[in-house]
Every structure is written in C-alpha cells, then in structure tokens.
Structure 1
C-alpha cells in the first residue's frame, strides 16, 4: 500500500476514536513525535497516548491535502473547531515507522476547555 493510501485509511480510523485499531498502523518500534509534546516510542506507547487523547477530547481530522514523496506522506488537516496542523508520516512495508505532527497546543487546549499549563 502506498503511503498516501495508508494515511487515508489512518484518518478514517482516527476519526473513529479507536486507539487499538489506530495502533495497528504503526511499526512495533515506531516513533510518534507531536512537536508540542515529547516523542512517544513504540506501538504500545502510541496506543496508550491515543487512548488518553481520545478520552480527553473529541478529535476529528478533516483532510485538506495528502501528499506523497517516496515513502513519506504529508497530511494537512483541520478540525471542526478551527485548529489546523500538518503531519509527516514515514511509511515502510505498509506501516508507519515515524510520525511528526505540527499544531498549536495552546489553541487545542483552549478549544476543548482543557487546563492550560502555567
């Protein structure tokens, strides 16, 4: 499966809010680094991260663009609350091995009425 197709399917599962299913898209040793947070290493840790995030806020990914360059997919997204971001996914053998996401954490926290760290 091409990286663009993989990320299209990833978005579908992300929007279901199912951390177990979403974790299956990642290699055992994958790294997910949302730059507003510390990197998360390993499929199990990534699953735990998504489970926590889905329990904290209702997140919806609306695709604006998905580009592919070799084994990389680039996802430009927005959500219904107006937050926008961009994710880079390195894909190998049909799995995500590395993900880096850029988005405004302060805007996310405020939009979801979550506490803002001091």
Structure 2
C-alpha cells in the first residue's frame, strides 16, 4: 500500500473509533507524538491512548488535504466543531512507524467539555 492508502484506512478506523484496527496500522515500536502531549511509544501504548481518547470525546476527522511524499502521508483536517490540525505519518512496510500531530489542546478540551489537567496543582481547569 502507499502511505496515502494507509492514511485513508487510518481515517476510516479513527472515524469509527475502531481501536483494534487503527492500532494494527502501527508498527510494534511506533511513536505517536501529538505535540500537545508527551510522545506515546509502542503499539500497545498507542492502543491504550486511543481507548482513552475515544472514551473522552466523539471525535471525527474530516480530511481537507492529504499529501504524500515518499514514505510520508500528510493530513490537514478539521472536525464537525471546526477544530483544525494536521498530522504527519511516516509509513514503512504498510505500518505507521512515526506520527506527529499539531492541534490546539486547550481549544479541543473546551469544545468537548473535557477537564484539562493542570499538572501538579491537583486541579482540573479549563
């Protein structure tokens, strides 16, 4: 498969909150770094991350642009609440080995009414 085809499968599984199939698109030692969060390393940890995230919000990713460059697929997206971001997926042997996403965490938490952990203060705050 091309990187773009893998990304199109990722989008389908993401929009169906299909944790098992989206996780299977990642290599065992993959890294998912959403820049608003610490990097998540390993397929099992990425699967756990998706389980938490899909449990927090009904997320939908609407692709606006998809680009492909060698082993990279690049996604510019929005969601139904007009949240916007972009993602970069490095793909080798039909598996995502590295993903980096850029989006505004504070806006996401406000739009979806999710408490934002403020670190060591012990308080959640929006």
- What interval of TM-score do these two structures reach, taking the shorter chain for normalisation? over 0.9
TM-score of the aligned structures, taking structure 2 as reference length: 0.92
1:23 maps to what in 2? 23
Q: Spell out structure 1 runs of 4+ moving beyond 3 A.
A: none
Residues 47-86 of structure 1: pairs in structure 2 closer than 5 A: 47-86=47-86
Structure 1: which 5+ residue stretches go unaligned? none
Q: Quote the Cα distance in structure 2 between the aligned partners of 1:97 and 1:116.
A: 28
Asked if the contact 1:18/1:51 (under 8 Å) is kept, the reply is no
Using CA pairs under 8 Å that are at least 6 residues apart, name the structure with larger relative contact order, 1 or 2: 1
Name stretches of at least 5 consecutive residues in structure 2 with no aligned partner: 119-126
Q: Max radius of gyration: which structure?
A: 2
2:55 aligned counterpart, secondary structure: helix
What TM-score do the two structures reach when normalised by structure 1?
Answer: 0.98
Q: How does 1:1-118 map to 2 (within 5 A)?
A: 1-118=1-118
1:20 offset after TM fit, Å?
1.3
Q: CA deviation at 1:117?
A: 3.4
Aligned length: 118
